[in-house]
Amino acid sequence: MGTNERTLILIKPDGIQRGLVGETIARLEKKGLKIVGMKMLHVDKALAKDHYSHLVSKPFYPDLEKFITSYPVVATVVEGKEAVEVVRLIVGPTNATKAEGGTIRGDFSNSTSRNIIHASDSKETAEKEIKRFFKSSELFDYKLVLNEFLYAGDE
Ligand code: UDP
Ligand code: MG
């Protein structure tokens, strides 16, 4: 069973400003995801353009770039079974107005542009995004002793 899939999370400037760092990370931890990297950083314009390259031609991009570069973010890599999909489910859809209660966006945002958190949307994207934000020396391979209680018996 693969319990070592990794995905990137960014708590965006609105998440930090609103005091939601602990709440957000707690939800991921309680699901059983293992934190393998974590840091605070300031996203510069070049990093924003790289990270949101699929959106640079959109009308909202100038606002998105200004926002994501305005204040620090907290970047985290978590690992676990089907981590990419599991984290997207915990985060909820981009448009938080349509996000169900119980999701991070559903509980804490009612906006598309200020939706608290970023999460990689596929395994391929996750691999690229993790490399974009973390050096290999900033990621930690360690045994989570709880794994046998979290996953034992799963296929
Ligand atoms: N975004 C926005 N307006 C839009 C669509 C997206 O401001 O109409 C911002 C929003 O912060 C979103 C980010 O661009 O989270 C990335 O968009 P994407 O479609 O990749 O959504 P996500 O993967 O974050 O759910
Ligand atoms: Mg996305």
39 within a domain of the structure (yes/no): yes
Residue 129, domain CATH? 3.30.70.141
pLDDT in tens, 17-42: 999 999 999 999 999 999 999 999 99
Indicate the number of domains in the chain. Answer: 1
pLDDT in tens, 122-144: 999 999 999 999 999 999 999 99
Domain-located, residue 37: yes
Pocket of ligand 1 from Cβ distances under 6 Å: 55, 60, 64, 94, 112-113, 115, 118, 121
Over 80: is that where the pLDDT of 1 sits? no
H, E, C per residue of 83-129: HHHHHHHHHCCCCHHHCCECEHHHHHCCCCCCCCEEECCCHHHHHHH
Active site residue 42: no
Averaged pLDDT of the chain: 97
Q: 75: which 2 tokens?
A: 């970047």
If you average pLDDT over residues 80-93, what whole number do you get?
A: 98
User: Considering the domain boundaries, does residue 1 fall inside one?
Assistant: no
Please check whether residue 38 lies inside any domain of the structure. yes
Determine the structural domain holding residue 25 and report its residue range: 7-140
Which atom of ligand 1 lies at the shortest distance from residue 52's CA? 16
96 pLDDT higher than 90: yes
